[in-house]
Every structure is written in C-alpha cells, then in structure tokens.
Amino acid sequence: MTKVTEETVREEMGKLEGKVPSYVVRELEKALLRRLKEREITREQLNKVIKAVTDAYVNVLVEPGEAVGTVAAQSIGEPGTQMTLRTFHYAGVAELNVTLGLPRLIEILDARKQISNPLMTIYLKPPHNTSKDRAKKFASRIVTTTIDDIADTESDMVRGILDISLNRNELQERGLTPKQVAKKIADELNVEVGISGGFRLRVRHPEAGITEFKRLVARIKELPLAGITGIRRALVREEGGEFVVYTEGSNLAEILKQPEVDVERTVTNDIHEIAKVLGIEAARKAIIEEAERTLQEQGLEVDIR
C-alpha cells in the first residue's frame, strides 16, 4: 500500500478547496498531519477520510429556496410543547439550580439579558485541576464576600456606631485580614473604622441621623470585600479525572483573567456575556449549543441544522 507523506496531504487538501469550506480544510489538514506524526497513513485511508468529510458536508447542505425559517420554527416549536416548566438541580451538583425545559428555551430564543440562573463551568490548569485543596482554595477566592459572610454585626442607631465581630475561620478561608476589611470599608464609604482585639471592628458616624445611619449600615453589609462580582457560590466537583468549579452567578470577563483558569474550556450559560467578551460568533455558537442541550435534556431530538 502506498504510504502518504506530508506533501501528499497538503496536495490533497489543495484539491478540496472550493468543495468544502476553507476552515474545514484547515482543520482536516491539521488533524491529518498530527496523525501522520503518530502513525503511517495509506493512500486508501486518506481517500476514505476525504470522502467521509466531503459527504458529511454535502449531506448538511440546504436546497436553494427552501423555507428554512418555517422549518426551523416547526422543528423547535413542536417539541417545545412537550417540554417541562420546572427548575432542576444541576446534573451532579445538587446544591446548584439550573433552569431547563421551556423556560430555558424561551430565555435563549428571546436573548434575555437577565436570565434566571446564570451559571459557569470553570476548568482549571494543572496543577490546580488535580488538587482538591487548590481547586477549593480557588473556588473560595472567587466568591463575592460581604460582611454578612464573615461577621456578626450589632448597631447602635442613636450613637451612630456599628460593631463588627469578624469570624477568624471565615477570614482565613477567604484570604482576608481584619486590616483589609477595615481599609475596604473606610476607603469605599469614607467612614472611620477602628480595630480592637484583633477581630473586632467599630464603625463610627455619630453625626449621621438614624435614617442616614441605617442606609450606611445597609451599604456596609452589601459592600463586596473580596471575590469576583456576580459569583454568589462556587462548588468543586471531580469530573473526568480532574476537579472542576461550578458557580452560581457569572462573570466571564473577570474569571478568564485568573491565572489558574483554562480559558479555552471555561464556559457560561449567559449568552450576552459571551457576546460581550468573546464576540458575536461565539454567542451564535453558544445559542445553538444551549438550545440543542436544552432539547436533548428533555429527550427531544432536533436536526442541528
């Protein structure tokens, strides 16, 4: 049997140009050259691969003039009447809720900016993805932390004093110190913050009236002290021999900036966020994948075209 060389592969790929899209040709060429480095490829095997790719492309073409919009609407609308109206637990992560069925399909097709349950699946780079402790440390670091997460508070509205008793274990888990918490409150809200006994803070604003001080206390409790805005919870799960982080809430732009994150595999179910961060083509692909996944989870099969 005639063995194929790299030159032969490139020559055959040149012949494919015009018959199938250029990006398909490029990907096929890369795959064949990679395989050629691992093992020998015969001329017969190469011809079979080229024929299979060409046939697969031809089979997904739509006849000119076909009413694709009507067919697409029928293909999704008919099975959509059989879909459920409930919110389910995330597969394998019972603590997280995910919107499925008809409500999720409506969110996708309406391109809603505010979705019911924004979620992220965050893949980590080695060695973080092989160590549960490292993955958990990362997960706790990205969750938005407020005063209520790390302390108990007691306020004296008349004297304009708020006492904050910090929880040592919660601080350590989130990588915070009393000084950092005090500085964040003082800098963001322009108030006097004192530290006593190491883990006790006192916020003073005696000149404020009761109503104004109530508003100040509410702002202090809502103030993000650490973590990434939008990430409300993060859970670690072992999957396929590695540890993956699932989040309730989404902030794709900030998550992708983290050095531990595998940016090529990390995903969100927020279409608008994908469009903003990765572009309109990525959002188009996400809409197709999310719609297909939503239908498949209901046991409904729709031609991807």
Residue entry with tokens 């795959």: 31
Examine domains 118-144+227-268 and 147-222 and report if their fold is the same. Answer: no
Contact predicate 143/156, CB 8 Å: no
CATH number belonging to the domain at 118-144+227-268, selected among 3.40.50, 3.30.70, 1.10.1760, 1.10.3470 = 3.30.70
The dihedral region occupied by 35, where left means phi > 0, alpha psi between -120 and 50, and beta the remainder, is alpha
Residues across the chain:
305
Q: What is the predicted pLDDT for the residue at 276?
A: 95
Each residue's pLDDT tens digit in the chain (305 positions)? 677 788 888 888 888 888 888 888 888 888 888 888 888 888 888 889 889 988 888 888 888 888 888 887 887 777 777 776 655 555 555 566 777 778 888 888 888 898 988 999 999 999 999 999 999 999 988 999 889 888 989 988 888 888 999 999 888 888 888 999 999 999 888 888 888 878 899 998 878 788 888 998 899 998 988 889 999 889 999 988 899 999 999 999 999 999 999 999 999 999 999 999 999 999 999 998 888 888 887 777 777 76
Sorted by where each begins, the domain ranges of the chain are: 6-59, 64-110+269-305, 118-144+227-268, 147-222
User: 83, 115, 116, 77: which is closest to 101 by C-alpha?
Assistant: 83
Reduce the secondary structure of 58-96 to three states and give it as a string.
HHCCCCCCCCHHHHHHHHHHHHHCCCCCCEEEECCEEEE
The structure's pTM equals 0.68
The CATH architecture annotation of domain 147-222 reads 2-Layer Sandwich (3.30)
Q: What is the predicted pLDDT for the residue at 59?
A: 84
Q: What is the predicted pLDDT for the residue at 295?
A: 81
Half-sphere exposure of residue 79: CA atoms within 13 angstroms, side-chain side:
18
Q: Which residues pair with 88 in a beta bridge?
A: 98
What Cα–Cα distance (Å) separates residue 294 from each residue in 62, 111, 113, 118, 267? Answer: 24, 15, 18, 15, 16
Q: Taking the C-alpha atoms of 225, 230, 236 and 238 in order, what is their torsion angle to the nearest 10 degrees?
A: -150
Cis-peptide into 127, omega within 30 deg: yes
Q: What is the predicted pLDDT for the residue at 249?
A: 92
